[in-house]
């Protein structure tokens, strides 16, 4: 039975969290946490690499012990060490760390002082007023925890887009290999490239004698068959992801694709336009009376309501229909437009590869340039660079630029914005760099006013180039900081600062709606991967998705320029 990288990473991440709650050695905890991050971000499935007979211990950050544990997990579906730890530490405690204000250390305190073992236990403790009596908690923290419990309990179960892709694409390839299948497309929020996916809607055209429905419910990753029909079946994968498969006649395929792609609000507006023209649109086609007049392609559906084809990423009823009607739809940025990546890390801090490896990987992707932006000293957990170490790295980059052809390394740093708005390194050091990515990694609990002023003061520094992952959010893990984005974007426009769309699948920060707002303010965007390994340079496509949903064109994005054009913008 196949197991995906995201599932393997989940095992190691839970192991690290439970070990930290137990009070294990910090280096041991960090090793498993780093392994989880590396595995999740690796471009190849670990299970496939093992099937090919490859040695996982040759991967950076994966030694023989970890490689053996991964192999055991792939072969047996179990991680014995995790099972052992869960005998000592209740596994539900790992879930509690998703609540804002509760890290592993505080969960450990709750477990030891109040014997809290589950979300129910925590809710009862909060309601009885026991939590605020603990040292280091207090009434404000108790209120924050109570709100976090409510948010966790009410959270809609949605999977990050990149994680869903890991389950969706192999399933699509499987279905395409079934006899008689002609076409397979994933519709829904997945096709619209939303940052999270609730379920998968897969549309198929095939011959009448195709066994596609029987093969679908027999797929090896199916955990539960909800329904099994001749034209529609529903299953839950082992991961919990629901998948609906629909078989459609070719004559209805375009109408069904439009209908099931959505969004609901977009579809309603299209149907309104159809009614005004005496048409009726549903998933089977476009009708005038009882006669089907269109529906084989999406283009036909749009043409009947007087519109050009609208890219799926824009179908949220945010003005795309009006723009299409007035022939003012933008040409959205494409992955092929990107000339370089402006945010990546090396093994000088918490990255997995050295400078030369990252440079060659970027060159292989056809990039003209790559910015090296290792962490600054404030991020101690990442072994951040102080002034001396950063200047030594600058010298190494300058030497490497003389040695390596076909790629230019830009000298940069991901410099922390401190709580008072100062940058984490002296101006005379930052002046040696080509660019800075200025980010927040601490002080997430400041008020909106203080957080906004913090960013605005940082932008006043003449060495501020790019605002990195602006809200600091982690999808399904941590909400973004309280920030008045309107003020921040207005200030960025006035000061000619760049704002990042961070393409890490766990971040996708800015939000799509904030991208739209940035464009309205005239703020230029950098789409960057924040790569911590060469394989993560491939995350650029997720940043492109987010930018397209935010109506960004190639002109809005600075790293669509050649090196000379980029330098003009960032200077």
What CATH number has the domain bearing residue 236? 3.30.460.10
Q: Is residue 364 in a domain?
A: yes
- Say yes or no: 58 and 87 in one domain: yes
Taking 90 as the threshold, does the pLDDT of residue 62 lie above it? no
Mean pLDDT of 381-397: 94
**CB atoms < 10 A from the CB of 123, how many?**
16
Q: What are 257-288's pLDDT values in tens digits? A: 999 999 999 999 999 999 999 999 999 999 99
Q: Is residue 208 in a domain?
A: yes
Cβ-based burial of 317 (10 A; exposed 0-12, middle 13-18, buried ≥19):
middle
- Structure tokens that stand for 500 in this block: 């990042």
Task: Using DSSP, state whether 119 is helix, strand or coil.
Answer: helix
- Say yes or no: 464 and 557 in one domain: yes
pLDDT at 245: 97
- Say yes or no: 286 and 416 in one domain: no
Domain boundary among 247, 282, 313: 247
pLDDT at 497: 97
**CB atoms < 10 A from the CB of 560, how many?**
21
C-alpha–C-alpha distance, residues 308 and 298, integer Å: 10
User: Which domain covers residue 381, as residue numbers?
Assistant: 335-570
**For 150-183, b where at least 16 C-beta lie within 10 A, e where not — what string?**
eeeeeeeebbbbbbbbbbbebbbeebeebeebee
The enclosing domain of 77 has a CATH number of 1.10.150.110
- Say yes or no: 235 and 290 in one domain: no
The enclosing domain of 391 has a CATH number of 3.20.20.140
C-alpha–C-alpha distance, residues 405 and 316, integer Å: 44
Instruction: Kindly give, in sequence order, each residue whose CB lies less than 8 Å from that of residue 118, ignoring residues fewer than 6 positions away.
Output: 90, 92
- Structure tokens that stand for 222 in this block: 């199916």
C-alpha–C-alpha distance, residues 407 and 359, integer Å: 7
Q: What are 453-508's pLDDT values in tens digits? A: 999 999 999 999 999 999 999 888 778 888 999 999 999 999 999 999 999 999 99
pLDDT at 309: 97
The enclosing domain of 279 has a CATH number of 3.30.210.10
- Say yes or no: 399 and 498 in one domain: yes
- Say yes or no: 422 and 525 in one domain: yes
- Say yes or no: 175 and 74 in one domain: no
Mean pLDDT of 2-27: 86
Write the DSSP string, 394-419: HHHHHHHHHH--S-EEEE--EEEB-T
Q: Is residue 330 in a domain?
A: no
Q: What are 135-190's pLDDT values in tens digits? A: 778 777 777 787 777 766 665 678 999 999 989 999 999 999 999 999 999 999 99
**SS3 per residue for 468-512:** CCCCCCECCCECCCCCCHHHHHHHHHHHCCEEEEECCCCCCECCH
Work out how many domains the chain is built from and give that number.
4
pLDDT at 419: 94
Q: What are 319-372's pLDDT values in tens digits? A: 999 999 999 999 999 999 999 999 999 999 989 899 999 999 999 999 999 999
- Say yes or no: 200 and 141 in one domain: no
Is residue 458 a contact partner of residue 430, using CB atoms and an 8 Å limit? no
The mean of the pLDDT values for the chain is 92
Q: Is residue 12 in a domain?
A: yes
pLDDT at 256: 96
pLDDT at 211: 96
Is residue 285 a contact partner of residue 294, using CB atoms and an 8 Å limit? yes
Domain boundary among 247, 267, 284: 247
CA distances, 311 to each of 56, 188, 290, 298, 557 (Å): 40, 13, 29, 11, 19
- Say yes or no: 112 and 207 in one domain: no
pLDDT at 144: 75
Instruction: Kindly give, in sequence order, each residue whose CB lies less than 8 Å from that of residue 147, ignoring residues fewer than 6 positions away.
Output: 100
Mean pLDDT of 386-402: 96
Domain boundary among 221, 247, 273: 247
Task: Using DSSP, state whether 237 is helix, strand or coil.
Answer: strand
């Amino acid at each position: 039975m196949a197991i995906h990288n995201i599932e393997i990473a989940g095992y190691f991440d839970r192991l690290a969290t439970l070990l930290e709650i137990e009070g294990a050695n910090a280096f041991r905890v960090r090793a498993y946490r780093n392994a989880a991050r590396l595995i999740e971000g690796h471009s190849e499935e670990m299970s496939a690499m093992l099937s090919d007979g490859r040695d996982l211990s040759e991967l950076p950050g994966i030694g023989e012990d970890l490689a053996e544990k991964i192999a055991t997990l792939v072969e047996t579906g179990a991680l014995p060490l995790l099972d052992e730890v869960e005998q000592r530490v209740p596994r539900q405690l790992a879930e509690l760390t998703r609540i804002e204000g509760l890290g592993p250390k505080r969960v450990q305190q709750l477990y030891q002082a109040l014997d809290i073992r589950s979300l129910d236990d925590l809710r009862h403790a909060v309601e009885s007023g026991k939590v605020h009596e603990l040292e280091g908690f207090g009434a404000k923290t108790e209120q924050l925890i109570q709100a976090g419990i409510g948010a966790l309990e009410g959270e809609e179960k949605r999977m990050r887009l990149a994680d869903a892709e890991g389950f969706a694409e192999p399933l699509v390839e499987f279905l395409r290999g079934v006899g008689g299948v002609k076409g397979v497309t994933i519709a829904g929020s997945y096709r619209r490239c939303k940052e999270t996916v609730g379920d998968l809607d897969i549309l198929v055209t095939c011959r009448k004698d195709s066994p596609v429905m029987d093969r679908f419910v027999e797929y090896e990753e199916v955990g539960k068959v909800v329904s099994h029909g001749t034209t529609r079946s529903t299953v839950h994968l082992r991961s919990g992801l629901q998948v609906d498969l629909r078989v459609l006649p070719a004559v209805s395929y375009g109408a069904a694709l439009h209908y099931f792609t959505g969004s609901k609000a977009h579809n309603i507006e299209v149907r309104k336009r159809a009614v005004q023209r005496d048409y009726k649109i549903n998933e089977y086609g476009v009708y005038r009376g009882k006669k089907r007049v269109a529906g084989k392609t999406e283009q036909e559906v749009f043409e009947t309501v007087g519109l050009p084809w609208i890219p799926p990423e824009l179908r949220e009823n945010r003005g795309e229909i009006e723009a299409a009607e007035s022939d003012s739809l933008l040409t959205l940025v494409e992955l092929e437009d990107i000339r370089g990546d402006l945010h990546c890390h090396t093994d000088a801090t918490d990255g997995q590869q050295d400078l030369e490896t990252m440079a060659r990987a970027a060159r292989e992707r056809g990039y003209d340039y790559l910015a090296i932006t290792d962490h600054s000293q404030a991020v101690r957990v990442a072994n951040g660079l102080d002034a001396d170490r950063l200047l030594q790295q600058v010298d190494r980059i300058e030497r490497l630029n003389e040695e390596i052809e076909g790629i230019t390394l830009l000298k940069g740093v991901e410099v922390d914005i401190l709580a008072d708005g100062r940058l984490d390194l002296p101006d005379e050091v930052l002046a040696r760099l080509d660019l800075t990515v200025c980010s927040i990694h601490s002080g997430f609990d400041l008020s909106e006013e203080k957080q906004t002023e913090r960013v605005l003061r940082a932008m006043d520094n003449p060495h501020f180039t790019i605002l990195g992952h602006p809200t600091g959010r982690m999808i399904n893990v941590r909400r973004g900081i309280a920030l008045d984005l309107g003020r921040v974007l207005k200030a960025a426009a006035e000061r000619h600062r760049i704002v990042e769309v961070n393409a890490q699948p766990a971040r996708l920060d800015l939000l799509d709606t904030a991208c739209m707002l940035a464009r309205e303010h005239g703020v230029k965007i950098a789409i960057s991967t924040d790569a911590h390994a060469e394989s993560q340079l491939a995350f650029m496509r997720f940043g492109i998705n987010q930018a397209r949903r935010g109506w960004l064109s190639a002109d809005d994005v600075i790293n669509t320029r050649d090196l000379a054009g980029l330098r003009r913008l960032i200077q």
